[in-house]
Chain A
Amino acid sequence: GAVVSQHPSRVICKSGTSVKIECRSLDFQATTMFWYRQFPKKSLMLMATSNEGSKATYEQGVEKDKFLINHASLTLSTLTVTSAHPEDSSFYICSVQRETGEEQYFGPGTRLTVT
């Protein structure tokens, strides 16, 4: 069965609004969660790494004030795209890691369309 879930699977929002994407680890408590962004016909780009109870570490070029990450518990991380614009339209994928030294399990992704 699925190890990681994401909600919603797809969302359409108007420009200027904010949208929240949830990532849940279903099978285990995840010490680390990762957020990726995938542009059409492109590879995955790591946006940020988050550990429960601490601030996320953002990759170079990713605006932390625009992409708010909250790792509220060992099974839930949220990504909020604030003041979304059409260029934020993308496929967002999260992954979870049980412990340091273990592999990442990827979620099914969330397709965001900003009109």
Chain B
Amino acid sequence: AQSVTQLGSHVSVSEGALVLLRCNYSSSVPPYLFWYVQYPNQGLQLLLKYTSAATLVKGINGFEAEFKKSETSFHLTKPSAHMSDAAEYFCAVSRDYSSASKIIFGSGTRLSIRP
């Protein structure tokens, strides 16, 4: 079985500060890992994905995540937070992209940005 755990349901940082959203996964097979962002009353937008290529994955809006197998982690970071980054962020895991594979979502982390 696969699962993801997001540490911290709410993270608040100052504008310009480092953003760090934590995600740990559990998977019996090499995982595909994702980070999605959801703005209020909107669907999910893919930020970035790890598909067993480079362990450091760069995404949109200046976000990146590093796959660390030894730590079973896939934390999301951004060097300098912007007010527009305030949203809900979901870490997710899948066996692969096939239609038979489900995407399992974490519980989400709400990111707030202080002026």
Contacts and interface: CB of A to CB of B under 8 A. Distances in A.
Interface of A: 4, 6, 31-32, 41-46, 49, 51, 91, 93, 95, 97, 100-109, 111
Contacts of B90: 43-44
Looking at chain A's contact residues, is the secondary structure mostly helix, strand, loop, or mixed?
Answer: strand
B70 interface: no
Looking at chain B's contact residues, is the secondary structure mostly helix, strand, loop, or mixed?
Answer: loop
B92 to A, nearest CB: 9
Interface stretch (B14-22, B59-67, B71-79, B93-101): B93-101
Contacts of B46: 103, 105-106
Contact of B99 (A100, A106, A107): A100
Given A43-B105, A43-B106, A101 B96 contact: yes
Interface string B2-41: 0000000000000000000000000000000000100001
Contacts, number: 52
A28 to B, nearest CB: 14
Contacts of B103: 46, 104
B45 interface: yes
A97 to B, nearest CB: 6
Contact of B44 (A6, A93, A101): A93
Given A43-B90, A43-B107, A108 B42 contact: yes
B69 interface: no
A107 B43 contact: yes
A53 B41 CA distance: 31
B82 interface: no
B47 to A, nearest CB: 12
Nearest to A49: B99
28 contacts: A31-B99, A42-B107, A42-B108, A43-B90, A43-B105, A43-B106, A43-B108, A44-B44, A44-B105, A49-B99, A49-B102, A51-B99, A95-B44, A100-B97, A100-B98, A100-B100, A101-B97, A101-B98, A102-B97, A104-B103, A105-B46, A106-B36, A106-B43, A106-B45, A107-B43, A108-B43, A109-B41, A111-B41
